[in-house]
């Protein structure tokens, strides 16, 4: 099992950070260009809610179904129910710090399928690709929730 961690802070209260991430439209804002997100069936974020979407890497569609758990003001977990990975569990944690600053901690446990079946996921979801993805998410989150 592989793991990836990414932590950053934003100058915004926990309530604003949590509300942003609980909004089902946030996935579009958090996805870096040139990847395009096509939402299919997205339930309001809650315990056991599902999100079905396609990530378009240019002309290449990657269909994904995520199921949410441990949903609360301090974060949530999304687990791939179907998609390109053999295993994918992404935990988002939001922690209030002093002076209206919130720390966002992202933890991903993942595994690729073996052989040819995992070739695409090893290319699209390598450690450098995840670092770029979460660096963009830091930028997008700050743009969405910070004031001043």
Per residue in 62-85, pLDDT tens? 999 999 999 999 999 999 999 999
Secondary structure class of 65 (helix, strand, coil): strand
Name the residue among 131, 126, 133 with its Cα closest to residue 110: 126
pLDDT value at residue 96: 97
Name the residue among 147, 141, 146, 148 with its Cα closest to residue 29: 141
CATH code that applies to domain 2-145: 3.30.530.20
DSSP class of residue 98? Answer: G
Cβ–Cβ contacts within 10 Å for residue 12, how many?
Answer: 22
Residue 40 has which token pair?
């299919």
| 6-10, 23-27, 86-90: range with lowest mean pLDDT | 23-27
Per residue in 96-138, pLDDT tens? 999 999 999 999 999 999 999 899 999 999 999 999 999 999 9
Contacts by 50-54 with C-beta closer than 8 Å and gap 24+? 50/81, 51/24, 51/27, 51/78, 53/27
């Amino acid at each position: 099992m592989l793991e990836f961690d990414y932590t950053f802070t934003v100058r915004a209260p926990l309530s604003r950070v949590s509300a942003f991430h609980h909004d089902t439209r946030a996935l579009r804002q958090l996805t870096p260009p040139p990847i395009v997100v096509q939402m299919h069936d997205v339930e309001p974020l809650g315990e056991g809610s599902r999100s079905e979407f396609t990530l378009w890497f240019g002309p290449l569609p990657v269909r994904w179904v995520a199921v949410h758990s441990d949903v609360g003001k301090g974060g949530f977990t999304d687990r791939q129910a179907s998609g390109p990975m053999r295993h994918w569990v992404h935990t988002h944690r939001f922690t209030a710090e002093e002076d209206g600053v919130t720390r966002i901690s992202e933890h991903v446990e993942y595994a690729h399928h073996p052989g040819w079946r995992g070739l695409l996921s090893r290319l699209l979801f390598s450690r450098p690709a995840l670092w770029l993805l979460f660096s963009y998410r830091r930028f997008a989150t700050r743009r969405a929730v910070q004031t001043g």
